[in-house]
Amino acid sequence: MPWKCFTPFNHSCNAHADNSIIPNNLVVPSDDRSYFYIKIVAEFSTPSVEDEDGLPTNNPERIEHVRPFFVPYDQLIQNEASWYTISNMLSSVHIPLDTQPNMLHRISRCAHVMARTADSMGRKVLPMIVKIYLENCVYYNEEDEVDVFSQDSMEEMLSRQVPASKASMEDLEPVRAEGSGSTKQCVICQEELPIGCDAKQMPCAHVFHGKCIVRWLEVSNLCPLCRFQLPN
């Protein structure tokens, strides 16, 4: 489909185990490994445009992308590049990289919870449903003229999946969270940064949990908040 989605104003992501999504004709490898069967359902809505009188001038669209993925267990659970793998899956259903940090955390956390449960049950296939909703998206049809974005800016937005260098990640400044202003919450995991907890600060002064920002920088060298760019 020739549509591209750029950063929306609002988005949500929910991931959980769901046995009902496994197709009856699923071919499972005969090896000794376990696998995740992940079905991503991404729904996008375009914004409503109003004229000077506040009357709608268009009909907002809802577009859905659905895609299944069959991923080896160790690729998500025992691999340092697991977030990169998940990011590739999200990008394949047109999820903008700018909106991915918290989604990566949620999907990865769900996989680890499922893995701990499946270990005791000895399951071969671990089914996960991921439902994503992105509101007020701007779509790009390659066959049409585009007024909102130039071609150069589109290519830039679509090529942000460049990991930061190990040196730049190691140079992140360790700080103590103050629990005020923008440091109250880590935007990647959306959990609190308790006063006095160990955290990492980007050169742009934004603060995150150390593990969260390092895992994100293994996917993209841009700050999740302001897009400050670290060396790659």
**Residue 196's domain spans which residues?**
166-217
Last residue of a domain, one of 130, 158, 186: 158
Determine, yes or no, domain membership for 145: no
Output DSSP code: residue 162: -
Per the model's pLDDT, the better-predicted residue between 94 and 36 turns out to be 36
Based on C-alpha coordinates, what's the Rg of the chain?
Answer: 20
142: left (phi > 0), else alpha (psi -120 to 50), else beta? alpha
Q: Do 124 and 180 sit in the same domain of this protein?
A: no
Q: Is the pLDDT of residue 152 over 70?
A: no
In a domain, 231, yes or no: no
- Count of structural domains, the chain: 2
Same-domain status, 131 and 211 = no
More confident residue, 155 or 130: 130
By three-state DSSP, how is residue 141 classified? strand
| Nearest one of 202, 207, 224 to 98, comparing CA atoms | 224
For residue 123, being part of any structural domain is answered with: yes
97 and 184 part of one domain: no
230 located within any domain: no
Q: 118 and 91, same structural domain?
A: yes
Same domain assignment for residues 15 and 71: yes
Per-residue pLDDT of 36-86, as tens digits, reads 999 999 998 877 766 676 676 667 788 899 999 999 999 998 777 788 899
Q: pTM above 0.85?
A: no
CATH number for the domain harbouring residue 198: 3.30.40.10
180-218 pLDDT, tens digit each: 555 578 888 888 888 778 889 999 888 999 989 998 998
Same structural domain, 124 and 74: yes
- 94 domain-assigned: yes
- The answer on 59 and 105 residing in a single domain is yes
Is 128 part of a structural domain of the chain? Answer: yes
Alpha-carbon distance 74 to 104, whole Å?
16
Is 224 within the bounds of a domain?
A: no
Residues 15 and 73 in one domain: yes
Same domain, 115 and 46: yes
Are 76 and 19 in the same domain?
yes
Percent residues over pLDDT 70 in the chain: 78
**Helix H or strand E segment including 111:** helix 100-121
Q: Is 188:224 a contact under the CB 8 Å cutoff?
A: yes
Tell the residue number behind the tokens 């002064």, with chain if given: 205
pLDDT band at 153 (very low <50, low <70, confident <90, very high): very low
The three-class DSSP label of residue 153 is: helix
| Among 158, 185, 204, residue at a domain's last position | 158
**Residue 154 resides in a domain:** yes
127 and 183, same structural domain?
Answer: no
Residues 129 and 185 in one domain: no
